Structure 1
Amino acid sequence: RALLKNAPILILDEATSALDTESERAVQAALNELMKGRTTICIAHRLSTVQHADVIVVLEKGRIVEMGSHKELLARGGHYQKLHQLQFRD
């Protein structure tokens, strides 16, 4: 639908959640092109989906607990950093 209508705002709700890692990368690359010049609200549990966003808002129990860039949130050592450790530990 986003391709059919040249909407200035995109809302992506778990757009890549059902995909394997390889497919997610391909879809994310296409979405990155689609998002250029648009305001995008991206809802995701996978941090790989949102890590390049200008601003990341972390919610817990429906409340904002952190806000910032990927780098800022990692440096803060809060909820986002803990989620990042869980999702990307080797």
Structure 2
Amino acid sequence: MRDLKRTIRLGLSAGGSAGLASARESAVALLEHSVRKEHERLALLRLGDAIRMGANIRADVWRYCEAVANRRPDVVSRAILAMRLPAATNTTEQTR
């Protein structure tokens, strides 16, 4: 987990397509880990990170995050989902 977080920080600060690609992969890996562990708030925060980087997010992960946001009364949860960008909606239907 620590290495994935470091990759995100380094990839965003270094710039370049290789660094950004690694940062996207790490963001998605952290998001999927949070979803698997059912860490609802953390999953929403990591979803925001992945969206900002333009990562491709699997459809099942989107569904989980949307369900969490719809159950949560806080505005932050809904704001994260509102960040949904066209680049992030190119989801794959694969499941593990």
| Structure with the greater alpha carbon radius of gyration | 1
Higher RCO structure, 1 or 2 (CA under 8 Å, sep 6+): 2
Identify whether the pair has TM-score above 0.5, normalized to the shorter chain.
Answer: no
Q: Which has the higher helix share?
A: 2
TM-score if structure 1 supplies the norm length? Answer: 0.39
TM-score if structure 2 supplies the norm length? Answer: 0.38
